[in-house]
Chains A and B, each alone.
Chain A
Amino acid sequence: MKNQPFVASLTLLSTLAATLVMPTAWAGPYDGYTLRVKLIGGEQYEPLYSVIPEWEKKTGAKVQIVSSKSHFELDRELKQDIASGKIDYCLFSNHTNFAAQYVTITRDLKPLVPADFVSKFSPRVIQQSTIKGKLLEIPRHSDISELYYNKKAYDDPANKAAYKAKFGKDLAPPQTWDDVAQQAKFFAKPPNFYGTQFAGKDEAITGRFYEMLVANGGQLFDKNFKPTFNSPAGVKSLNWFVDLYKSGAVPKGAPNYVWDDLGNGFASGTVALDLDWGGWASFFNDPKSSKVAGNVGIIRAPKGSSGKRTGWSGSHSFSITQSCDNPKAAADFLMFITGFDAQMLEARRGLMPTRLDAQQAALAEFKAKNETYLTDVFNTFAAGMREDSFTPPLIPEWVEVSNSIWPELQKAIVGDKTSKQALDDAAKKVEALMDDAGYYK
């Protein structure tokens, strides 16, 4: 009992200490800090941002989204920021295929993000996020195109019999791009039904041509960055598009199509084969948005004449700016929104996670729920990302190179020039711009 005053004093002291210490114990490591970020906006990307309050609660920091725009608007804004030298934010949405343009404002993440965190990601995607040895971005989700097909067209007994009679083999989803051309012409009954379709303008057609070129054994540049896409492999690749367009196997408006036209076209049930992005998978199989729901098949992208598959791909990502005043907080936030839980949130919405653990967990979830379509989609896209994916050359001039190529590709497709002439003209333009940019000095 004689210890009573001591115990009472101790209790009082503990209470006082707790009162003084508790507010700091409750506060997070970045209490009071405001992290300014520029994020890509849009229906596909914004659900991820619902996890931001969780990070704010954990760290005591606030996230201020100073800009939320579509990819192309954000690209324009970032370029203006670089020009004005006003980079007053810490983190921004990036993309592997365009990151080289923002190198001057982007911080190397290797000192900020632990190696064991990076090791959770697909090595190929991490390699695509690294420029000149610097890890410039942490990928959020990946995009690659695989071949969707309308099962109704393939299961139709009349089609099966007619195809067998005409070509002497069974009608089955195509394995090569030559098969695609043959089947597309077979299915086409314009203006009601088309064999296939392709994006015909902007970077979309440059990308499609580029992946076909690679699949046919060609390359855009040699090791000195001299254009080589006007090679025989280039002409063969461009002829594939020209031939399908001339034959009427693709819609006449294809030279003006981009992704939304293609997605809506396949969903309208008027197209047999569609090389398209993973993000469309749920849309195609949803009866509210698609007439082919329940009849969508998916296979790996076909092979070109070199035996390689087409695999133009890219990953949406996040980067930290050089001028960031609290890179540790920015890195913490970055790891939070590219962490396992955040990637699972996007995976459940049909986006391909870049973390291997999230890919496996998402696949296991789909299998457990007996969602065979999503399981197929995930398996196909994961295999494509793992084995076939490649980005355009990671150079700041990529957009400019693409803008020099696509109008010439269109000229060949609509018949204003031959494929060789169009590619030679594009090669001249690209060579001039690469010369201007100092590649040949």
Chain B
Amino acid sequence: MKLLRKLPPEARLLLPAFVVILLVVAVPLLFSLYTSFTSYRLVRPETIWNVVWFKNYLKLFGNSDFWWAFGRTVLFLTVVLNLEMLFGLALALLVNQVTRGQRMLRTIMMFPMMFSPVLVGFQFKFMFNDNIGIVNHILQNWFGVTEAIPWLVESHLAFFSLACAEIWNSTAVFAILLLAGLMAMPQDPLEAARVDGCTPLQAFRHVTLPFLMPFVYIAMTIRSLDVGRAFDIVKIMTNGGPAGRTELIWTLSARAGYEDARMGYANAMSYVAVLLSIAFTVHFFRKLNASRQFLNEVDA
């Protein structure tokens, strides 16, 4: 208590927050970092003390399956986030035009977000089933396709199917955030642009979009951290297969950690995934700062 009294008042006020963050965030992070240097197996708790230093990381970096999964994860993140942003922007612009029933539309737009990714995975798995799925059924009966398209087997199609499920589930996040941006946008610059003779496309390109960019990057940052939820979808739809064609870092590390019980190795993999997320987040933060600076300069 004496020690506490010696602290300045602002430090005493901040202390509880630091303690909570330390317990909830830092300790588990440091613990998992430590286990990534051990041969820790869930079903053999005593192995937590068996330090193997960089063995897990060296094994990981020498594993071509891991590098393929890493590359595929970067590609998946890039494609999915950009498409979600485009679709979300389109949805937000459309809903923003609606004057009656906008509240109802906003609620409907959020429906996909309310489904758990596990459920979405099962839905899309059955939709894309080559034999009894509705997608092939429609193609064969309405569009004269004569063969069963193996949506979840051929590597590009499987990637496309997974992306569809993920985009359907999460585009609403972008749409809601961008709609909030559109609703907060001052109308004066747009009216001024119209008076100056700008076409709607020019007004969108030079006025609306720059204003929305900070919202886009905030949404991108949130989604780049949150996109790991796609694990459930991939797990249910393909479990990384067939033949590793849709393997992502998340499916690989979850299999190593929980099914194989090799938690030390899985945590090493997770730390690489964390670095990847940090890289994406830093990139989007830089873009966010640049776009805000641009807006400030315009205001000035």
A255 neighbours in B (Cβ, 8 Å): 153, 241-243
* Given contact pairs A101-B261, A191-B140, A191-B146, A253 touches B130 in the complex (Cβ within 8 A): yes
Determine the distance from Cα of A284 to Cα of B243 in the docked complex, in whole angstroms.
30
Determine the distance from Cα of A80 to Cα of B41 in the docked complex, in whole angstroms.
10
B132 neighbours in A (Cβ, 8 Å): 264-265, 268, 270
B151 at the interface (CB under 8 A from A): yes
A190:B261 contact, CB within 8 angstroms: no
Of B42, B129, B243, chain A has the most CB atoms within 10 Å of the CB of: B243
Contact of A79 among B65, B245, B258 (CB under 8 A): B258
B129:A201 contact, CB within 8 angstroms: no
* Given contact pairs A83-B263, A410-B241, A396 touches B43 in the complex (Cβ within 8 A): yes
A407:B131 contact, CB within 8 angstroms: no
Determine the distance from Cα of A107 to Cα of B152 in the docked complex, in whole angstroms.
43
A102 neighbours in B (Cβ, 8 Å): 43
A410:B131 contact, CB within 8 angstroms: no
B262 at the interface (CB under 8 A from A): yes
Determine the distance from Cα of A407 to Cα of B243 in the docked complex, in whole angstroms.
5
B136:A410 contact, CB within 8 angstroms: no
B243:A411 contact, CB within 8 angstroms: yes
Of B126, B240, B255, B260, chain A has the most CB atoms within 10 Å of the CB of: B260
* Given contact pairs A191-B136, A268-B131, A256 touches B262 in the complex (Cβ within 8 A): no
Smallest Cβ distance from A406 to chain B, in angstroms? Answer: 8
Determine the distance from Cα of A413 to Cα of B146 in the docked complex, in whole angstroms.
23
A414:B45 contact, CB within 8 angstroms: no
Task: Give me the 3 closest cross-chain CB pairs, A-B, nearest first.
Answer: A253-B130, A191-B148, A255-B242
Contact of B261 among A85, A256, A400 (CB under 8 A): A400
Determine the distance from Cα of A9 to Cα of B259 in the docked complex, in whole angstroms.
71
Smallest Cβ distance from A283 to chain B, in angstroms? Answer: 14
A202 neighbours in B (Cβ, 8 Å): 239
Determine the distance from Cα of A194 to Cα of B147 in the docked complex, in whole angstroms.
12
Determine the distance from Cα of A403 to Cα of B261 in the docked complex, in whole angstroms.
12
B259 neighbours in A (Cβ, 8 Å): 75, 399-400, 403
B255:A403 contact, CB within 8 angstroms: yes
B28 neighbours in A (Cβ, 8 Å): none
B149 neighbours in A (Cβ, 8 Å): 252
Chain B, Cβ-Cβ closest to A401: B260
* Chain A residue total in the interface (Cβ 8 A): 40
Q: Mark B211-222, 1 if CB is under 8 A from A, else 0.
A: 000000000000
A252:B148 contact, CB within 8 angstroms: yes
Determine the distance from Cα of A373 to Cα of B262 in the docked complex, in whole angstroms.
46
A108 at the interface (CB under 8 A from B): no
* Given contact pairs A194-B131, A396-B43, A407 touches B146 in the complex (Cβ within 8 A): no
* Given contact pairs A190-B147, A251-B130, A251-B148, A256 touches B153 in the complex (Cβ within 8 A): yes
B238 at the interface (CB under 8 A from A): yes
Contact of B42 among A80, A268, A413 (CB under 8 A): A80
B150 neighbours in A (Cβ, 8 Å): 252-253
A252:B153 contact, CB within 8 angstroms: yes
Smallest Cβ distance from B147 to chain A, in angstroms? Answer: 6
Chain B, Cβ-Cβ closest to A271: B131
* Given contact pairs A191-B131, A253-B130, A400-B260, A413 touches B43 in the complex (Cβ within 8 A): no
Residues of A near any B CB (own CB < 8 A): 75-76, 79-80, 82-85, 101-102, 104, 190-191, 194, 197, 200-202, 251-253, 255-256, 261, 264-265, 268, 270-271, 396, 399-400, 403, 406-407, 410-411, 413-414, 416
B71 at the interface (CB under 8 A from A): no
B43 neighbours in A (Cβ, 8 Å): 79, 82-83, 101-102, 104, 396
A256 neighbours in B (Cβ, 8 Å): 152-153, 158, 237-238, 241-242
Determine the distance from Cα of A303 to Cα of B121 in the docked complex, in whole angstroms.
37
Q: Mark B242-255, 1 if CB is under 8 A from A, else 0.
A: 11110000000001
A407 neighbours in B (Cβ, 8 Å): 65, 240-241, 243-244
Q: Mark B128-145, 1 if CB is under 8 A from A, else 0.
A: 011110001000100000
B158 neighbours in A (Cβ, 8 Å): 256
B243:A414 contact, CB within 8 angstroms: yes
B245 neighbours in A (Cβ, 8 Å): 414
Determine the distance from Cα of A416 to Cα of B152 in the docked complex, in whole angstroms.
16
A270 neighbours in B (Cβ, 8 Å): 131-132
Determine the distance from Cα of A82 to Cα of B40 in the docked complex, in whole angstroms.
12
Determine the distance from Cα of A264 to Cα of B122 in the docked complex, in whole angstroms.
13
Smallest Cβ distance from A160 to chain B, in angstroms? Answer: 25
Smallest Cβ distance from A291 to chain B, in angstroms? Answer: 11
B130 neighbours in A (Cβ, 8 Å): 191, 251-253
Determine the distance from Cα of A191 to Cα of B130 in the docked complex, in whole angstroms.
9
Determine the distance from Cα of A337 to Cα of B164 in the docked complex, in whole angstroms.
45
